Amino acid sequence: MLKILTVLKTGEDKEGKALKTHGTRWTVDHVYKIKRMCEKYISKEFEFYCLTNEKEINCNSIPIENNWQGWWSKLELFKIKGPVLYLDLDVVIIKNIDTMLDKLKNINFATTSNIPHMTIESQFDTTAQNFKILEKWHPRYFLPRSRGVQASFMYWSNDVSCLYKRVHELSLSEVISKMISVQGDQNIVSFLLTEQPLDFWTPISMHPSIKNQEIVGFKGSLKRPDQGYKYWYNTNDQERINNIKIVIFHGRPRPWEQDIIPY
């Protein structure tokens, strides 16, 4: 059965302050919000879990086992055998995603990404033509900047514990030695993918040039142009708007800090 997962890490940092991500303190209420969205917009059978160190949580939970710093704990997700759909706490589902799950079920390992210039009609296209583009943007060849991987939305159909085992062997210094910066979990996932075959990973591009997008990034596709972004979906373009099923808010604004997408 499909498992839908999110992650909540609570507690204090080294200075005794509440753990935050980009200024946001996440709580069980954010977990419950994701759970309610899944129940509303997925009619297929699934089990919902939260990977967490929080003891007072009213849903199925999987304990965080390793005392990894900050967002490194998210990498414990890879110990869970698929099929798994992972959603960050700032992901918003706005329409039924049953058909999206049908497209994903035969994909080995997928993440959202920012790979541009993929001449595809669907974000879930895995044709050989696009693997030529993938070779150019795959973390193996573009590792220092980690431009390809965006880990707010991930799916794997089978066992990807090889990634989890590799995290146990990693040191932050080893990752940093091969990358310009390590700003978040997506950088570590990029690093892990360099050791896998090219066809291990399927990118789901959120670049605004892709047609018929079902998953979009709020900053790149929906934020108003007067706020400094070149690409956006004009709210009068109903055909494009009607395709959108999931919106990802990576960073600010958070879903509750805007008035374009209902939250």
pLDDT number for residue 29: 95
Structural domains in the chain, CATH included, are 2-257 (3.90.550.10)
H-helix segments, the chain: 28-41, 98-104, 128-137, 139-142, 161-169, 172-176, 185-193, 238-243
pLDDT number for residue 229: 47
Please, are residues 74 and 7 in contact by the beta-carbon 8 Å criterion?
Answer: yes
pLDDT by 10-residue block (mean), the chain, 263 residues: 95 53 78 98 98 94 87 90 97 96 91 66 53 50 56 95 86 57 72 81 77 81 55 55 87 83 86
pLDDT number for residue 141: 47
C-beta atoms surrounding 246 within 10 Å: 24
Angstrom CA distances, 18 to 9, 24, 27, 113, 202, stand at 10, 10, 11, 30, 35
pLDDT number for residue 16: 46
Please measure the distance between the N-terminal and C-terminal CA atoms of the chain and give it in whole angstroms: 28
Please, are residues 131 and 54 in contact by the beta-carbon 8 Å criterion?
Answer: no
C-beta atoms surrounding 156 within 10 Å: 24
pLDDT number for residue 7: 96
* Alpha-carbon torsion angle 33, 39, 42, 47, nearest 10: 100
